[in-house]
Amino acid sequence: MFFSIGDQQIQVHIVHQKRRSLTIQVKDDQLFVKAPMSMSEDTIASFLIKKKRWIKNRISQVSLPEIDIEEGYVFLFGRKTDIQENQRKVILDPTYLYQRLTFWQNHLNLYPKKVNVKKMKRSWGRCSSTGTVTLNIRLLHYDKRFIDAVIVHELVHLNHLNHSKSFKDALVEALSEYKVWIKLNRLA
């Protein structure tokens, strides 16, 4: 089965299982649907049409741009930084991310149980239901305000584990410029 968003055709993989609800996962520009055993393809297609905007947003977020050092430069904190020809590996120090995280933790009085910084392919940050915040080391390539926006976003998830209206209200209350910073730095 294929699903159309604009001129893009997205392959849909359907797995029927013993379950009551339908779930959608976006991975590698494909849709993975888990559906109840008795659910028809037409019902699934109708559900996908209702969720078209959500799917489109997820597909645009899924792939973060690759950092190419072959051009002789990289972006650090949103600024073009030259690298030497013989320098093939760029080492990113997560200290700045930890400093900003500590600042925002104290400012918002929100403290994760655990913090990780690592290279992630599909997101800028994550907050688990167990209180673990994970930040993408590749944030260091982007503007400092964007980094702060991502950190605040993940910290607010400690109190709101979804993107509900209360989450969005708390986010804007914590960082009034959030929407502007995200729009200016939206890369995925």
CATH number at residue 98: 3.30.2010.10
Range of the structural domain that residue 8 is part of: 2-62
Torsion of CA 57, 165, 25, 149, to 10 degrees: 60
- What are the tens digits of pLDDT across the range 155-173? 999 999 998 999 989 988 8
Q: Is 135 exposed, middle or buried (0-12, 13-18, 19+ CB in 10 A)?
A: buried
CB 125 within 8 A of CB 136: yes
Report how far residue 45's alpha carbon sits from residue 178's, in angstroms, rounded to the nearest whole number.
35
Place of tokens 């944030």: 139
Read off the tokens for 146: 């964007």
Tokens of 26: 């976006």
The pairing of strands 2-5 and 8-17 is: antiparallel
Residue 96 and residue 167 share a domain: yes
Q: Is residue 41 part of a domain?
A: yes
> Given this model, what pLDDT does residue 188 score?
34
Instruction: Specify the range with the lowest mean pLDDT, choosing from 16-20, 27-31, 105-109.
Output: 27-31
User: For the residues 20-46, what does the mean pLDDT come to?
Assistant: 86
pLDDT digits (tens, 9 = 90+) for 49-89: 898 888 877 776 545 555 555 566 666 666 666 666 545 45
- pTM of the full predicted structure? 0.57
Structure tokens at 150: 């991502």
Evaluate whether residue 67 is within a structural domain.
Answer: no
In a domain, 103, yes or no: yes
Query: Are 124 and 143 spatial neighbours (Cβ–Cβ below 8 Å)?
Result: no
Q: How many domains does the chain have?
A: 2
